[in-house]
Structure 1
């Protein structure tokens, strides 16, 4: 049998019971508010940390200098499974390993001629560029474009860069043609690049395909475009000159 006094107390709670109940509700409310406050503060702290990290990363990216490779299929990495295996991507890896504050931009377009480069240079120059590597002309030579036309187009590109950003360092990559194009033409073609480099006082890579051009195992089946291994050699050839330009920038 239930205790009559206990039953009566539950059915008819006293003033003391009400007070105890109110105290419990009060403490429960305070506890919830404190918990929510701490949770809000934790979220605010987390958000502030995340925002600070994002702002730092954005600031670092904004403050980094830009190296832009302006070229044809060689720069673009034609035929490679991963375009990061092209020499500009390899150079970016090199730069990162040395802790240098440079961001590489690959602006290579397969099939590009000097005329095509001339037509898109103004659009490319809408961004800030600290070092500009010019690698064009090979497709002109393979198509037998007049030497004077190729030279004029390359000069126009150089002039556009200098006019837009006088402080931008320009590196000119030289190219050579296979002998089947004719002795006179191949000789004059080769001289175009050395002449332009001398005239414009540019850092110069005499032959970007040095130790790769004509080497079967380092080129794809077309015999023209380097393999991933070939691009590693290209990267070394370019870095020999580019590293000096970077030191001058420092």
Structure 2
């Protein structure tokens, strides 16, 4: 009988000990689960708080969307495209009507006060229309590119090519057209061969001035830009 009582007590103590071990294990599992949940919540919060990357369009009245609502200009259409694809980019339209490459050179530092991930340079058209010396235009564009690189070497640059009507003479027209491909090759930047491809010189796609695209024209311009911009975003893994 005495031995039975001892055995019973031993079994009871063993059961209590096992229950304690089980309770400790459960508490440890709960703590680990709580820490994991907190970690996941923190990660999600950090992802939510991350700012979208910036695409800056730096240009003249074409970028600004002269004569149209800003929402109809091609930079806004690019933003809509990015949003539809759930890509984390914010487009900034820094187009200024009448801007020349000299004007762009003088204001570029002010524009680059914030970090820019993709810089799209659309200047030169007004230089060509005014017959400004081609070498001066080239130097100004190079200075703008140099400033962007100096500010942030990781910024991806896209150069928008431009062509002008032949009224300035075939020699000037050819030299002007060549500026953009030469600079793109020299600086290893992406190139939009001709921003106004399938738009320039087509009356139905331009305002009465024959220079600035209509809303339908801007849709085509946006496609011209997207063909070059999309690979830049993909290759940069940005």
TM-score normalised by L of structure 1: 0.76
User: What SS class does the counterpart of residue 77 from structure 2 fall into?
Assistant: helix
User: What SS class does the counterpart of residue 135 from structure 2 fall into?
Assistant: helix
Q: Establish whether residue 208 from structure 1 lines up as the match of residue 195 from structure 2.
A: yes
Matched residues in 1 for 2:93 and 2:46: separation?
A: 21
CA distance 1:207–1:116, shift in 2 (3 Å): same
Bigger radius of gyration: 1
Residue 56 of structure 2 is matched in structure 1 by: 68
Residue 179 of structure 2 is matched in structure 1 by: 192
Matched residues in 1 for 2:143 and 2:99: separation?
A: 15
1:180: how far off? 1.1
Q: 1:62-211, aligned counterparts within 5 Å? A: 62-80=50-68, 82-211=69-198
Q: Which runs of 4+ in 1 moved over 6 A?
A: 56-59
Matched residues in 2 for 1:61 and 1:74: separation?
A: 33
Residue 23 of structure 1 is matched in structure 2 by: none
1:58: how far off? 10
Matched residues in 1 for 2:94 and 2:192: separation?
A: 18
Aligned pair count reads 194
1:84: how far off? 1.1
RMSD (Å) for aligned C-alpha atoms:
1.5
